[in-house]
Amino acid sequence: MRKLRRVVICGAGISGLSCAAFLARNGWQVTVVDHARGPRPQGYMIDFFGPGWLPADSLGIIPRLHELGYRVQRLDYVDRKGESRASLPLAKFANVARGELISLLRPDLELAIREVLPPDLDLRYGCTVSAVRQSSESVIVTLDDGGSLEADLLIGADGIHSAVRELVFGPEDEFLHYLGFQVGAYSFHDSDLAARIGDRVAVTDTRSEAMFF
């Protein structure tokens, strides 16, 4: 009889939950830990297409992604008055991606993956990996809640500032190459602005306190 294989995944984001879903389907005993207190509802808009489509299809979540997604019709480059200076129909992007394109919020993508996890999967929020020790037989993962897990595989899916990478391979600055960009993303509710923007994405490179859409 084949021995049950055990995996610890650090990070319950897009890659961590996807790995969890596929490995659980293939008979692995899965534990996922994430340092966040729970799934984060905030996030930015992403265009989901390309290499991620195939695994999403295998997980059976494409219909759910369509349900959660937004029907964006076009992308407008706008000036500081909110007037369109250039416009691109999203159908052009969709054609290039053979129709396999969905615009949705990152937390909704995460939600769709979480929904297909087996209900008994060991998913622990508010917990992270604090030490890693490996032998030829297994990996011992120490958790910051004082517990420890023995596994056959540890996956670091904890994002760009991965703690697992640091614990196993060394300090982050040996691996991270800052390219000079920073991103800030937030969501807010404004029904008037939403009505003005409608079914398009507005992009601007203007820096002004007075943007009028």
Ligand X SMILES: Cc1cc2nc3c(=O)[nH]c(=O)nc-3n(C[C@H](O)[C@H](O)[C@H](O)COP(=O)(O)OP(=O)(O)OC[C@H]3O[C@@H](n4cnc5c(N)ncnc54)[C@H](O)[C@@H]3O)c2cc1C
What is the smallest separation between the CB atom of 156 and ligand X, expressed in angstroms?
9
Between 16 and 69, name the residue whose CB sits nearer to ligand X: 16
Q: Which DSSP helix (H) or strand (E) runs through 30?
A: strand 29-34
The 10 Å Cβ neighbour count of residue 127 is: 19
Between 11 and 69, name the residue whose CB sits nearer to ligand X: 11
Based on the shown chain and the rule CB under 6 A, indicate whether residue 131 belongs to the binding site for ligand X.
Answer: no
For the four alpha carbons of 43, 49, 50 and 51, in that order, the dihedral sign comes to positive
Closest CA to 28 of 151, 124, 194: 151
Based on the shown chain and the rule CB under 6 A, indicate whether residue 34 belongs to the binding site for ligand X.
Answer: yes
Per CB under 6 A, which of residues 133..172 are in contact with ligand X?
157-159, 163
**Amino acid in the structure at residue 49:** F
Between 32 and 78, name the residue whose CB sits nearer to ligand X: 32
Q: What whole-number distance in Å separates Cα of residue 135 and Cα of residue 155?
A: 16
Between 10 and 78, name the residue whose CB sits nearer to ligand X: 10
Per CB under 6 A, which of residues 56..95 are in contact with ligand X?
none
Q: Which residues have C-beta within 8 Å of that of residue 54, sequence separation ≥ 6?
A: none
* Binding segment (CB under 6 A) for ligand X, from list 1-9, 28-36, 135-143, 146-154: 28-36
